[in-house]
Amino acid sequence: MVVVTGRLSSMPEDECRDLLRGGKIGRVSVTYDALPVIAPVNYVLDGSSIIFRTRRDGMLASACDETVIAFEIDELAADGSSGWSVNVVGVASLLGPGEHVRALSLGLVSAAGDDRDQFVRLRMGLVSGRRIMPLETFASNA
């Protein structure tokens, strides 16, 4: 069901998953040292999980060890007139050595460098998305 409120409309979960499947860069939101942190990551969708890489001894690895995190992707017009965003909340876990080979087969690269050898799996729980309709579309639908 799509809910329209003003120029914003909610997106069905299957559309959100399609957008996640087509993306490559997202933002991870975690709590680290009791403070909120948002970090960009390269990712792939693997079934009902989002997989990304980070440094084994880094902040994200520490903050994503069996914790609830948020993930977001978006595409917005520079003037804010149209676009969409998808948000995911779920439990993140560090992949162990036994899962490393499978994760490598997903073809995930990290723009931040080759030292990102810790894979993280975000099991998708809550998935939601919103679309911003251009003003002329909104006016014609009103």
What are the helix (H) ranges across the chain? 13-22, 59-63, 97-104, 135-141
Domains, the chain, ordered by start: 4-141 (2.30.110.10)
pLDDT for position 113? 64
pLDDT for position 137? 55
pLDDT for position 134? 74
Q: Is the distance from CB of 94 to CB of 65 less than 8 angstroms?
A: yes
pLDDT tens for residues 75-103? 998 888 889 999 999 999 999 887 876 77
pLDDT for position 43? 94
pLDDT for position 81? 82
Contacts of 53 (CB under 8 A, 6+ apart): 41, 42, 108, 110, 116, 117, 118, 119, 120
Which segments in the chain show pLDDT lower than 50?
138
Provide the Cα torsion 116, 27, 32, 68; round to 10°: -100
Q: What is the model's pTM?
A: 0.85
